[in-house]
Amino acid sequence: MQYISTRGEAPQLGFADVTLAGLARDGGLYVPQTWPRLSPETIAGFAGRPFHEIAVEVIAPFTGGDIARADLARMSREAYAQFGHPAVTPLVQIGPDRWILELFHGPTLAFKDVAMQLLARLLDHILMQRGERATIVGATSGDTGGAAIEAFRGSKRVDVVILYPHGRVSDVQRRMMTTPTEANVHALAIEGTFDDAQAQVKAMFNHLAFRDRLKLSAVNSINWARIVAQVTYYFAAGAVLGAPHRKLSFIVPTGNFGDILAGWVARQMGLPIAQLVIASNENDILPRTVAAGIYETRGVVATTSPSMDIQVSSNFERYLFEAVGRDAGLIRAQMASLAQSGRFDLGGAKARLQADFAAASASEREVADTIRTTEQSAGYLAEPHTACGIFAAAKAPPGCAQVVLATAHPAKFPDAMQDITGRRPGLPERLASLLSDTERTSVLPNDQGAIERFIEARARVVAGESA
Ligand SMILES: *Cc1c(COP(=O)(O)O)cnc(C)c1O
């Protein structure tokens, strides 16, 4: 399997190189040259099989021989053994035709663990085969940083430095980054906002001498391996609920278009999906795009679902590439327009977008109402991201079984939950020590030189430890 860039001006790469590269050199995103398909018999056969085995069947066609099947099977088994539920991503019924797909049973209580736990093992494995090391640098507004530190702690080949805005992430989110004790993971508080932290990461990637010396790599949501790892739970849930013989709708709280893209990939691979519904909060760039066929960024407003407070949905480019018939020149023009004027017109791709997706956004008030009514009617406590999904599900046409993806555990957003329900949700038992464990963090000014010196002093790539 080879991968091509959505902008058409980067070299084709195999799975291992794409996993290491993240972004393509021409600024585009890598997509597989063809979409593998699973037969109806294969999909039906997923019912009753463990999650880690389904993951191998779903992911193996994308690896194109870069990862031996036995190695993939071992990594998948190890990754999903870290989850606190035997089903890994269990379903909970909340209505006659509505289920919640709980994606938050991983170590950091957010769905990002599903992909990150596997990605960490894949990267270590690829670097081991090549006798190389890497330094992962990332910025987080909350969930991604914890998932990355948790997944890579103890990695033999990878050091991780996560920048977060000092004083601007929740206690639970910060502690997930600062309490792991392994020497290869570092949480670094920057005196500034998330945008400052993000800008520092971009600046380091643009500082080519530093980037090459440190072998910088990224694990943000544009990494293809993360998307493909998320495809698994669409098939797993589908099979439990009777796919391919029964058509289901999936409703997906999404910001960067990663999670919903994984659902679209599942459909490309042969999973019958009636409706794929984009659920957003008040930052509604995606629902506006579906309605009008014009992608237009506006200012970000802060909501109770902060992981969806986004105004540029990076992974949308992957879908758009398909919707315009893989015309890389057109994508380049659209992205140039976006960079210059903050908008572009989908043109003829609008009809395809509207055929492929429905969309709805929930106001802060609708999120709070949905949390309260879902608890009253079904006895189910949803956090605000998930509530955006439940709200969108209620707007979708009835007559089809609905699966709403739950992307985080309520305990991850205790302040918002307290405001809405009057109660603070407790952490699951296995995280009981999180709030008392010793923290280890460093605070630095918003200064590129200081941040680079911090990283250089700690990265094993620089220390020249034997590979
Ligand atoms: C990251 C995140 C999302 C959005 O994921 P996308 O990849 O942007 O679709 C939704 N909910 C939670 C809790 C998250 O952490």
Residue numbers of the domain that contains 407: 91-107+224-421
> For the stretch 293-317, what's the b/e string if a residue is b when 16 or more beta carbons lie within 10 angstroms of its beta carbon?
bebeeeebeebbbbbbbbeebbbbb
**Which atom of ligand 1 lies at the shortest distance from residue 252's CA?**
9
Domain membership of residue 437 (yes or no) is no
pLDDT, residue 124, reads 96
Which tens digits make up the pLDDT trace of 283-307? 999 999 999 999 999 988 999 998 8
Residue 158 lies in a domain: no
What pLDDT does 463 receive?
Answer: 67
pLDDT confidence band for 467 (50 / 70 / 90)? very low
What are the tens digits of pLDDT across the range 164-208? 999 988 889 999 999 999 999 999 999 998 888 988 998 998 898
Give the residue from 227, 395, 384 showing the smallest Cα distance to 306.
Answer: 384
- 216 within a domain of the structure (yes/no): no
Q: Confirm whether 10 is domain-assigned.
A: no
pLDDT score recorded for residue 300: 85
225 near 112, Cβ under 8 Å?
no
Candidates 168, 98, 148, 127; CA nearest to 19 is: 127
465 pLDDT above the threshold of 70: no
- Residue 390 Cα to ligand 1 midpoint, Å, equals 15
Evaluate whether residue 317 is within a structural domain: yes
Residues involved in catalysis: 112
Q: What CATH number did the domain enclosing 362 receive?
A: 3.40.50.1100
Residue 374's pLDDT band, with cuts at 50, 70 and 90, is very high
**For atom 2 of ligand 1, which residue has the closest CA?**
307
DSSP result, 303-346 = -S-GGG--S--TTHHHHHHHHTTS-HHHHHHHHHHHHHHSEEE-
Angle between helices 143-152 and 112-130 (to 10 degrees): 40
Burial class for 379, CB neighbours closer than 10 Å (0-12, 13-18, 19+): exposed
Closest ligand 1 atom to 142 CA: 15
DSSP 139: E
For residue 332, the CA-to-ligand 1 centroid distance in Å is 26
- Report residue 67 as tokens: 């990862």
> What H or E segment, with its residue span, contains residue 31?
strand 30-32
Quote the mean pLDDT of the chain.
94
pLDDT at residue 109 greater than cutoff 70? yes
72-92 as b/e, with b when 16 or more CB fall inside 10 Å? bbebbbebbeebeeeebbbbe
Give the mutation target among 109, 111, 250 for probing the ligand 1 site: most ligand atoms within 8 A of CB. 111
| 381 Cβ neighbours under 8 A, 6+ residues apart | 371, 374, 375, 410, 417, 421, 425
Binned at pLDDT 50, 70 and 90, residue 253 comes out as very high
Phi, psi of 139 (to 5 degrees): -115, 145
Residue 457 has pLDDT above 60, yes or no: yes
Query: 395 lies in a domain?
Result: yes
Relative to the CA of 408, which ligand 1 atom is closest?
Answer: 13
**Alpha-carbon dihedral of residues 228, 229, 231, 232, nearest 10 degrees?**
140
Rounded to the nearest whole angstrom, what is the distance from the C-alpha of residue 112 to the centroid of ligand 1? 7
In a domain, 2, yes or no: no
Number of domains in the chain: 1
> Which residue's CA is minimally distant from atom 11 of ligand 1?
407
Tokens representing residue 20 in the block? 């290491």
Q: Is the pLDDT of residue 163 over 80?
A: yes
Instruction: Confirm whether 118 is domain-assigned.
Output: no
Tokens for 249, please give them: 């709708």
pLDDT at 168: 85
